[in-house]
Structure 1
């Protein structure tokens, strides 16, 4: 094992020690129209990429306000960090923009129940963790 390999292994252990949230990353299926409520609801996941420990933290201090149709929408960017050793599903599909991250549990009760949308995914052989850029839309 080289000095670089040892440093990366140590960094990856430290990164995992900070992963205190439990999340699921998935690709949602097509929306289903609920005739009772008159609303569309998300369909069941088409692909589940990961379920387990992660770190979820704000990626920036300022929110972005954008116009979506006739409505003002506030976007908050978050960085979701997964263990470097996380494997892709058997299909080999990778997360992409539009996929969803649901935060199931967190020591911070304000994060539990948070739904985030993937906007970017970072890859790198010398990374200490797998980082996914997401946004909360409200």
Structure 2
């Protein structure tokens, strides 16, 4: 039984990888520095957590909603970002950015999403990250 499950997962993970037609970069803020001479905190540079293939698609479970951000009305649209199962590295914290670098869908290139969560599962075919477009 276990061998059948592992074979099915291997095939599913290979199929999921074939659907990853976008290239993304996931960026997270590093720790800000404090300048003791001036008494100010310096802006923290972004750190690259991942760069490579991904599948980016609207998340059916997270429909768009409008919220007020300061004095601006913003629409939030949910996305599901799938990375290869074999991806290792740091889990992107909430608030990290997913930048779509390239896509066969030209209108997606340059899309910037904010990470809202990470999904796990031992029988998953990809590592899935929930994110939102805050435009």
TM bucket normalised to smaller: 0.7 to 0.9
CA RMSD of aligned residues (A): 1.9
* 1:118 and 2:115 aligned: yes
* Deviation sequence 1:14-68 (CA, Å, 0-9, x none): 100000000011203479xxxxxxxxxx85323x221101000011384110112
Aligned equivalents of 1:30, 1:113: Cα separation in 2: 25
Aligned equivalents of 1:126, 1:30: Cα separation in 2: 34
**Larger of the two Rg values belongs to structure:** 2
Q: CA deviation at 1:84?
A: 0.4
Of 92, 97, 102 in structure 2, the residue corresponding to residue 100 of structure 1 is 97
Flag the 1:123–1:62 CA change in 2: closer, same or farther, 3 A. Answer: closer
Structure 1 length-normalised TM: 0.82
The number of equivalent residue pairs is 123
Structure 2 length-normalised TM: 0.84
**Mind listing any 5+ residue stretches in structure 2 that lack a counterpart?**
33-42
* Structure 1, 50-59 or 93-102: larger mean CA deviation: 93-102
- Runs of at least 4 residues off by over 4 Å: none
Aligned equivalents of 2:106, 2:15: Cα separation in 1: 23
**Mind listing any 5+ residue stretches in structure 1 that lack a counterpart?**
32-41
Aligned equivalents of 2:10, 2:83: Cα separation in 1: 15
Of 117, 130, 133 in structure 2, the residue corresponding to residue 133 of structure 1 is 130
